[in-house]
Amino acid sequence: MDRRDLLKLLGTTAAFAGWSPVDLEALLTPGGTRRAGMAFFTDAQREAITAFSDLIIPTTDTPGAVEAGGVEYIELMVSEWYNAEERERFMRGLAHLDEHTESATGVRFAYAGEVRQTAILKGMEAEGRALMEADPDAPESFFHQARGLVLHGYYTSEIGMKEELLFVGLPGRYDGYAPLSQISRAGGASNE
């Protein structure tokens, strides 16, 4: 290790006391990525979240939520960003998803098949909506909480931004009076 790397390491260690050596190495390595939280969910829970995410935003002509890293995003948010109450509510809902599916079909959610999974999620969505209508101050249902994470993770990912939303980092000129028929989905001129 040269002197410059040693100084970076010492300065970073002082600034980020309490971080693990793996976290510090990821921070100092050019292009390094930190995949935190990947040990939070069990394999069965990760399978359920993967199946859930794939049903919310499936792969079509664009990559779906799973390909966009949605499962990793959800695991990171639940493990590191949720407070204890939000995390506990999410984990109870995730357990309920598998328990409910297993009692109805004999298998866990990830293995119930798309038709059954869709029916179960529609039921959970309706149940959550009814609870919110009955008590507007009630906490968000598991379905709505998990769906929100899938949508946010997907539409803030590079895949979601560039391939689905057709986001262009450098905008073109602004024309406040452009006819709507001349504007494409990404905000640029159409090919008509």
DSSP notation for 148-170: HHHHHHHHTSHHIIIIIS---SS
Residue 51 is predicted with a pLDDT of 97
Number of domains in the chain: 1
Q: How many residues does the chain have?
A: 192
Torsion sign across C-alpha atoms 132, 135, 141, 144: positive
Residue 183 phi/psi, 5-degree rounding, is -110, 130
* Domain annotation covers residue 14: no
Q: How far apart are CA 62 and CA 70, in angstroms?
A: 14
What is the average pLDDT across 6-34? 56
Q: How far apart are CA 177 and CA 106, in angstroms?
A: 59
In which element (H, E) is residue 98 found?
Answer: helix 84-105
**Residue 56: which of 42, 38, 44, 68 has the closest Cα?**
68
* Domain annotation covers residue 139: yes
Residue 83 is predicted with a pLDDT of 94
Residue 37 is predicted with a pLDDT of 44
* Domain annotation covers residue 86: yes
Indicate whether 187 pLDDT > 70: no
Count the Cβ atoms, other than its own, within 10 Å of residue 83: 8
- Give residue 90's identity as a one-letter amino acid code: F
Residue 151, domain extent? 43-164
The mean predicted confidence, pLDDT, of the chain is 82
* Domain annotation covers residue 119: yes
For residue 175, give both structure tokens: 């024309």
* Domain annotation covers residue 181: no
Show Cβ contacts of residue 111 under 8 Å, excluding neighbours closer than 6 positions.
none
Most confident of 21-25, 97-101, 136-140: 97-101
* Domain annotation covers residue 127: yes
